[in-house]
A = this chain, B = another copy of it.
């Protein structure tokens, strides 16, 4: 391994870090576009704090919980608080065989960590108390996400069992989605959503913001998936770029046709969710798929989106303003299972393993999140008052409005 190759490899992971960082702006934009004007500051505030909390807790304990190194057993390990840069080359060229340096590893993983909580943020929008949400976020990213992540990426029991999740269809997206599901079950729907007159639509206040968010997420996904190659290997990264892009395109097309068939109109919010669904779907196997398989995975994700949104909204009566459960949870599961159906690892045995992984993460994350939000509810409440909800969280929690004349 020579220095130049190490430098190029490490550079790519750093660039990927920046790209994953900007996904936080993507989430902030998407979520604020999909909520009402009166709750916009709140969403922006939450997303600004989530990235700060994510980085700090990952520094304090997350990184060493997720990658416990020698302290790892199958289910848990902890290499201690804070960071400890290995001396000399051991923190540099020798750290990952010339692929990236120690600090690069930390910062790339830290950016990933905060995305899980961001997923929750959108689903609980427009009604959760700010402080309760922040407490949930701290515990979710400091403990639940890294402990669960360790099972696979930290070399835990699911890794040993052959479970595959390239960049986090399950480890990031479904985990965030399960957390979101638990929270919206405990929180209940927004006032005015399920009324005696039927199910009411509550449209988002800014489609330009939402679209900006989705494009930024796609942009960042090149780093999310591409960086997960964990080196700048030209063959690996270029394939991941192709599969990621084609799956997103497939998601757009799938949602385009399905939502038109269902609603007889071209609902932009569905196409936007479709793109994200395609991206989430390809994430588990972005390095395993042929271009054609990635189009199919994306297409199916795009078809799933409107069906799933309607299923959560009408059948389950679970109110999710941004569709986080459909995009991250449902398409995350789909993508994880797709590793057993398409691509170079496909096969019945692998499919079963993937299913076990999906269930293990589901049970663990959902149960812990449900407990956590229930405890928070008992301790400090989770919902703003009805009056605050009507007034809007921007005035109620932040004493300010998102837009003035």
Interface of A toward B, CB cutoff 8 Å: 2-12, 14-15, 17-19, 21-22, 24-25, 28-29, 32, 36-37, 40-41, 44-45, 47-49, 51-53, 55-56, 59, 82-83, 91-93, 100-104, 106-107, 110, 130, 203-209, 211-212, 214-216, 218-219, 222, 226, 232-235, 237-239, 241-242, 245-246, 248-250, 252-253, 256, 263, 265-269, 271-272, 275, 291-292, 295, 397-405
Contacts and interface: CB of A to CB of B under 8 A. Distances in A.
A11 B8 contact: yes
B14 A226 contact: yes
Contact of A44 (B4, B208, B242): B208
Contact of A102 (B208, B238, B397): B238
A118 B143 CA distance: 41
A122 to B, nearest CB: 15
A72 B284 CA distance: 38
- Of A104, A107, A405, chain B has the most CB atoms within 10 Å of the CB of A107
Given A211-B28, A404-B205, A399 B235 contact: no
B268 A400 contact: yes
A101 B238 contact: yes
A248 to B, nearest CB: 7
A56 B295 contact: yes
A37 B32 CA distance: 18
A310 to B, nearest CB: 16
B400 A207 contact: yes
A47 B271 CA distance: 11
Contact of A56 (B11, B207, B250): B250
Given A218-B21, A399-B265, A402-B206, A238 B103 contact: yes
Nearest to A299: B56
A25 B216 contact: yes
> How many copies of this chain?
3
A238 B9 CA distance: 12
Contacts of A110: 245
B130 A238 contact: no
Contact of A232 (B7, B40, B102, B295): B7
Given A232-B7, A246-B59, A266 B398 contact: yes
Given A233-B7, A252-B52, A24 B215 contact: yes
A336 B36 CA distance: 42
Given A19-B18, A82-B291, A271-B45, A36 B234 contact: no
Given A25-B216, A215-B24, A295-B59, A207 B41 contact: yes
Contacts of A208: 29, 32, 40, 44, 206, 209, 402-403
Contacts of A267: 398-400
A20 B114 CA distance: 24
13 contacts: A3-B5, A7-B8, A7-B9, A14-B238, A44-B208, A44-B268, A49-B252, A49-B256, A52-B253, A56-B253, A206-B402, A212-B212, A265-B400
Contacts of A398: 265-268
A219 to B, nearest CB: 5
Contacts of A268: 41, 44-45, 48, 398, 400
A286 to B, nearest CB: 12
Contacts of A14: 222, 226, 237-238, 241
